[in-house]
Amino acid sequence: MELERISVVLRPRVTREAIDLGAAMLRANASPVWSAWFAFTLPVFVLCNALGVALGWPWLGWLLMWWLKPLFDRLPLYVLSRAVFDRAPGWRETLRGQRQWNWRSTLAGLSWLRIDSNRALRLPLDLLEGSTRKQRSARWKVLRRRLAGETSLLTYFCLLFELVLFLSVWLFALLLIPHEWRPESLTGLFRDGVRGVPTAWVLTGAAVAYLAMSVIEPLYVACGFALYLNRRTQLEAWDIDLAFRRLRARLQGLGMLLGVLLCVGVFAPAAQAQVHVDVPIAKPATVSLDTVFEGKTSDAERQRLAQAAAQAYRDPRFGGEHTVRRWQFKYAPKPDTTPTAVPFTWFGRMLAGFFQLLLWLLLAAALAGLLWLGWRWRGRWKAANEEPASALSSSVSAIADAPAALPADLAGAARALWQAQHRREALALLYRGCVEQTARELQQPPAPDATEAHWLRQARAIADPERSRRVIRIVRTWQFAAYAGRYPDDATVEQLLAGWPAQAGASP
C-alpha cells in the first residue's frame, strides 16, 4: 500500500471522529460517488419495479431494492478507496472496476450475511484486502474487537435516518392535501385504503424509498470505510509508518550531498601521508561455568543446572505468551486502600430499603391505574360502538346550538331565526337538516364523530349532481359562519332555503 500518496491524515481517532471523517470524505467526492450510484442503481430500480408490476406484486420492487443493498455498496466503496489516494475514478471506470473484485463476499452478503449489522466494517475487509477465507476469518476477529457495538449503532441509526426521510416526504405531501380528502383516521386508512391501493401509489412510494436509500446508503458505506481505516491505523500504526517513510524520503534527498562530501574526503590531495597501523583485533572471551563459579564443576552439577534452567523456561511466567480473559468494569473506581469507618450504616440500609419498597408500591399503583383506565375506556368504547343507528339527531346536535328535534317546517323555522337576527342558530339548523336529508338520500346512518369534511365526501356520492352541489354549498356556508364568522346575505339564505334539502319533498 502506497501510504505516501494517501490524502487522509492518518492518526488514531475515536469512533465519533472516524464517522465524521467518513462524512467529510463523502462530501469531498460527492460527484463521482453519486454519479456511479445512479448510473447503476437507477436501471436496476426500473427493472425491479417492472418485474413486480408484471407479476402483479407491485411491492416486490421495494423488497428487491432493499435486498440488493450489499450489491450497491460496492460502488461508493470503490470510489472512496481510490479517492483517498488522490485519484477519484469516474462512473464508467467504477462500473468497469467491479469485475476486479471478488463476488463471493457479495453473494454471502446477499444470503446468510444479509442482516449482518457489521456490514459497513466487513465490506472493506472482504473487497480490498483480497485475502483467503481463513485469513479473513482470523483478521475479522481482530478487526471487529472493541468496534462491533459502534458499527451496529451506525447501521441502526442509518436505517432510522432513511425511515425518517421516507416518512417526511409523505407527511409533507399530507399537509398539502385538502382536509376533506384526507382519511378520517389512520385506522380507516389501513382498513379501507391499503388493501386497494392503486399501483401508481405503490410505485410512487417505491420511488420515495429509493431516493431516501440513495441519500443514506453512500453515507453508511463512507462511515464504515472510515472506521476500517481508523481501526487499521490503531492496529498497524500507519501514522508511525508514514512518519518513518517521510523521514527516509528526506534523508534520501540528502544522500547525494553526503556522497559528494565522502568523495572529497576519500580523494584528498596526494600530499597527505598515508599511515598504516596494524591494530590487533581482540577475540571475544568465552565465559564458562568454571569462570563464573571460580572453580571446576562436575558433570552432575552441570546437568542439574541445565534441568533447573529448562524448568524455569517452561514456567509460563517467563517464556511464551498467554492470554487472560476476565470481566472488568470499564470505569471501575480505584480501590481505596485506607479503610474509613462509616457511622450509622444500619440507618442507611434501613433508608434504602424504605425507598425501594416505596418505588415498588408506586410501580404497582401505576400499573393498577393503567388497568383501571383501560377497563373504563373499554366500556365507553363498547357503548359507543353499540349505539343504535337511529340516534341521528342526537349525534349531530352537539355541532350546533339548536333543539334536539328538527321542526316539521325546517325552511320556515330557519327563516324565522334568520329574520330574528339569530344567524348562527339558523345556519346550524339548516346544516343539521341537510345532514339528515343526506343520510336518508344515501340510506346510511352517519358516524357519531362525523365532521363537515365527512359530509363533503358523502355529498359527492349522491347520484343527483344538483343535490350534491346544494349539500356542498350548505356545508361550506356553515363552515364559513362557524369557524370564520363570515355570514351570507339574505338572498343567499333564501336560495339555500328554497328546495331540497330544506324542504324534503321539494325538487332540487
pTM: 0.52
| Residue 459 banded pLDDT, cuts 50, 70, 90 | confident
- Regarding predicted confidence, which is higher, 168 or 392? 168
Residue 7 covered by a domain: yes
pLDDT of residue 343: 58
Burial of 402 (0-12, 13-18, 19+ CB in 10 A): buried
Per-residue pLDDT tens over the stretch 324-358: 778 777 666 665 555 455 555 667 678 778 888 88
Q: What is the C-alpha separation between 455 and 108, in angstroms, rounded?
A: 56
Query: How do the residues of the chain divide into helix, strand and coil, expressed in percent and rounded to 5?
Result: 65, 0, 35
pLDDT of residue 354: 83
The answer to whether the Cα torsion of 177, 180, 181, 184 is positive or negative is: positive
pLDDT of residue 306: 74
Residue 310 covered by a domain: no
Residue 153 covered by a domain: yes
Range of the domain at 473: 392-497
Most confidently predicted of 17-31, 227-241, 269-283, 398-412:
17-31
Residue 59 covered by a domain: yes
DSSP code, position 277: -
Q: What is the C-alpha separation between 371 and 357, in angstroms, rounded?
A: 21
- CA nearest to 497, candidates 413, 420, 408: 413
Per-residue pLDDT tens over the stretch 197-206: 778 888 988 9
- CA nearest to 136, candidates 110, 85, 102, 112: 102
CA distances from 489 to 423, 452, 498 (A): 10, 22, 15
Cell numbers for 308, please give them.
533447573
Residues 6+ apart with CB under 8 A from 501: 433, 434, 437, 438, 467, 470, 471, 474
- Regarding predicted confidence, which is higher, 256 or 73? 73
Q: What is the C-alpha separation between 486 and 478, in angstroms, rounded?
A: 9
Task: Assess contact for 140 and 106: CB atoms under 8 A.
Answer: no
Task: Assess contact for 406 and 502: CB atoms under 8 A.
Answer: no
Q: Which of 191, 221, 244 is the last residue of a domain?
A: 244
Q: Which of 190, 209, 244 is the last residue of a domain?
A: 244
The mean per-residue pLDDT over the stretch 216-243 comes to 83
Domain count of the chain?
2
Q: What is the C-alpha separation between 401 and 118, in angstroms, rounded?
A: 64
Cell numbers for 375, please give them.
377497563
Q: What is the C-alpha separation between 218 and 72, in angstroms, rounded?
A: 9
Q: Which of 10-19, 34-43, 497-506 has the lowest mean pLDDT?
A: 497-506
Q: What is the C-alpha separation between 257 and 156, in angstroms, rounded?
A: 58
Would you put residue 335 in left (φ > 0), alpha (ψ -120 to 50) or beta? beta
The mean per-residue pLDDT over the stretch 159-178 comes to 89
CA distances from 460 to 102, 281, 453, 468 (A): 61, 116, 11, 6
Average pLDDT value for the chain: 77
Residue 159 covered by a domain: yes
Per-residue pLDDT tens over the stretch 293-318: 555 556 777 777 777 767 765 665 55
Residues 6+ apart with CB under 8 A from 44: 65, 68, 72
Q: What is the C-alpha separation between 91 and 98, in angstroms, rounded?
A: 11
Backbone angles phi, psi at 83, to 5 degrees: -70, -25
Residue 156 covered by a domain: yes
Alpha helices, H only, 177-276: 186-188, 199-236, 238-253, 255-266
- Axis-axis angle for helices 238-253, 199-236 (nearest 10): 60
Q: What is the C-alpha separation between 44 and 48, in angstroms, rounded?
A: 6
- Regarding predicted confidence, which is higher, 24 or 290? 24
Residue 318 covered by a domain: no
| Residue 3 banded pLDDT, cuts 50, 70, 90 | low
Q: Which of 46-55, 61-70, 168-177, 402-411 has the lowest mean pLDDT?
A: 402-411
Residues 6+ apart with CB under 8 A from 417: 423, 425, 426, 429
Secondary structure E strands in 64-125: none
pLDDT of residue 282: 46
| Residue 183 banded pLDDT, cuts 50, 70, 90 | low
SS3 144: coil
Residue type, 377: W
Residue 425 covered by a domain: yes
Q: Which of 244, 271, 291 is the last residue of a domain?
A: 244
The answer to whether the Cα torsion of 292, 298, 304, 310 is positive or negative is: positive
- CA nearest to 217, candidates 102, 91, 123, 127: 123
pLDDT of residue 214: 95
Backbone angles phi, psi at 394, to 5 degrees: -65, -30
- For residue 396, is pLDDT > 50? no
Q: What is the C-alpha separation between 64 and 45, in angstroms, rounded?
A: 9
The mean per-residue pLDDT over the stretch 86-91 comes to 84
Residues 6+ apart with CB under 8 A from 146: none
Burial of 116 (0-12, 13-18, 19+ CB in 10 A): middle
b/e 207-230 (16+ beta carbons within 10 angstroms → b)? ebbbebbbebbbbbbbbbbbbbbb
- For residue 79, is pLDDT > 90? yes
